[in-house]
Structure 1
Amino acid sequence: MKIVPVEDFDLRREVEYGTPEQNAAAKRIVQDVKQEGDAALLRYTEELDRTKLTASGLRVTEEELKAAYTKVEPSFVEAISAAARNIRAFHEREKRNSWMDLQPDGSILGQIIRPLKRVGVYVPGGKAAYPSSVLMNVIPAQVAGVPEIVMVTPPATGGKEGINPYILVAAAEAGVHEIYRVGGAQAIAALAYGTETIAPVDKICGPGNIYVALAKREVYGAVDIDSIAGPSEIVVLADEQADPEFVAADLLSQAEHDEMASAILVTPSRQLADAVAAEVKRQLESLPRRDIAAASVEGYGAIIVVESLKEGISVVNRLAPEHLELMVQDPMAIVGLIENAGAIFLGAYSSEPVGDYFAGPNHIIPTNGTARFSSPVDVDDFIKKSSMIYYSKEALLKNGEAIMELARGEGLEAHARAIEVRLKREIEGRD
């Protein structure tokens, strides 16, 4: 793992979202499914996923969900159920209520909060299957009150056996029973525009490969999306007290996701930098996903040596990482100085996988520096808000002239006259 002084490291990581050929392919697939429905959906599933299906075979049956429980360990069911409880408890605290404020003049201003009606969840199945992502997408939507949640996942996430049983068990534990065996850009198009078999949704959530990301960007506007997710990222800010074995293990926990994942240590300690570099090399040797993690470390990993912890905080805020670990002696003393990070893990025992799987906060977090202006998935992602205005006669008589002044200042006479006609009626009525 390369060790570099901060002045030699480019703190701006810009991920290109696909080649021109990939963009064109995603757009073509989306348009074909939009126009042809199930016919295109089935054609692309056979061509790209090498799985021949019929329209009637797209939906996963209840019998398949029940059978999935026989293919996983009871300990997994127990663990995923406990994780679901923790995630639900955390997101319950995010719930909002509609509100109204009665003004002294009789006007009522407020906000009406409603859940989205139908949400689509994409669960990937490429380099790895992620049952935990099922929970992280579905549970906040349920807490928000979304009545219809549909899940799509590639037809062979479990190889020749079909859909990975761990994904199906996670879905069942989360309470999802409308599931379709379809993936890629074609699945995103089906969710966005609907087909003869799959009804359209209001919002699409969940990570996927580059074609999924490009398709989500293509359909945005017809539906809402959570984000265009980039490769996973972790930054560890550590002082001389940090355990190099812990730091290296946590860096590799993200490096094993993808060859483009980013794993960075920021430290004022050259001694720690050397020890972590050695540890990363040692731990890589026994990783089952060694080739992926090694490519990530080589291409996007680094140990940045700074002059002080204060400078390290500045570097972290410029990086705006998806995951940030504060492996320092007193993390509570500096957490308030962290301005840009998707999720912040404090102390030696708050390893990033604790958040990935079990603690409760959502693990779908902004990437590619977007933590500067966006947030993890939460209940707010699955609600919509309507402003409510009940203006009393007294309020309009008092403020009507000001409203007309503003309207005419913008050159919108009809706006002004909509107020004026009411003011005249009241004045004439008094006469």
Structure 2
Amino acid sequence: MKKPLIAAATVLLNFALAPSLSHAQATGPGPTITCASDSSIFNTGFNGAGGKLSPPAQDAFWEAAAGDASGPGSVTTWTQANVVGNIAPGSWVNSPFGNAEWIARGNGLGDGGGAIVYYRYQFNIDPSVDLATFSLNFDFYIDDYIQQIIVNSSEYKNYVSASSPNGQGGFASGAQLSETLSYGPTAPWVHGANSIVLKSWNNVAPTGLLAQTTTSTTCQPKLSIGKTTSASSPLKPKANVTYTVVATNTGLVAADGAVVADPMPPGISSGAWTCAASNGAVCPAASGVLPLSETIANFPSQGAVTYTIESQVAETPPLTITNTASLTLNTAICTPADCTASVSNAVTLEPIAVTPAPVPALNRWGWVLGIILLSVLGMSRLRKTGK
């Protein structure tokens, strides 16, 4: 009987590879990966034709070896991992997509309590790949625990802790190990030869690994957005101003589903937009009014959409109007990094003219009445003085 599972979540290995840190390496064993490659090639037990191998068979690229706690340097001989299939039915999960199978060292039954088994996948990244966009999404199921992931001889993460002395992971649905592996000092991916090594620890036999990619692509979309304004001087209340928003797919893969948005900023009372597309991109609509929020269903590599927005300044705007557009797509890499572009314009508020109230002029009868009144007041004063 296997011990109770320790639940974990989905492994998400994002090999975000920054070009500024890359350098050429000699080509090594394993497949050469481009942005057109199907990521299923990273599955354990993949048959290369959309399905999985049936035991007995050897995995085309995954290797396995016994070692000790000191690390993969303790391995004396790597051999191709054997496809053993689900040898613990009712406990081990099956591939949800039918294109991965369990692998092990030997037949999976010979590594008992305390056994440390290493699994290795070697591959090459083609020089045509923009390393900043390279991305693989995995579910890793393990019997029993993963203790360490190593990338190109650098430790990415150690999963052994006081609360998890044997590591983390599991072999049933929902017990996957969760991780995001991004390019950097602990994941130094390069053009040329690369390797992923998993260190596992077993409680009791059997033991095995199921690696399952969850998306078909190997590269992330790469997007850019820019924004300009027609105003070259401070804006005035009720003035017209034109904004231009350009969204571009600068990567090597499609970015279908990206959303271009431009809300109505404070200080703008109205706005209407038109859309123009190029290089295979398709505008969702030819025109509309602010606020703008459009999903680009067809956004191929190097495609672009341009939104021209004719707007009017409000009657009482703030002293500065800032208009921000955004371009969003899950997992995409953006320029600027936050996928937004803004322009700000100062506003000149014209002083309000104040017209003084006119002083009414006295006509002839007005002057006569005034003289009479003054005379009466004067005579009254004389009488009081004479007393």
TM over 0.5: no
TM-score normalised by length of structure 1: 0.23
Structure with greater contact order relative to length (CA < 8 Å, sep ≥ 6): 1
TM-score normalised by length of structure 2: 0.24
Rg comparison, structure with higher value:
2
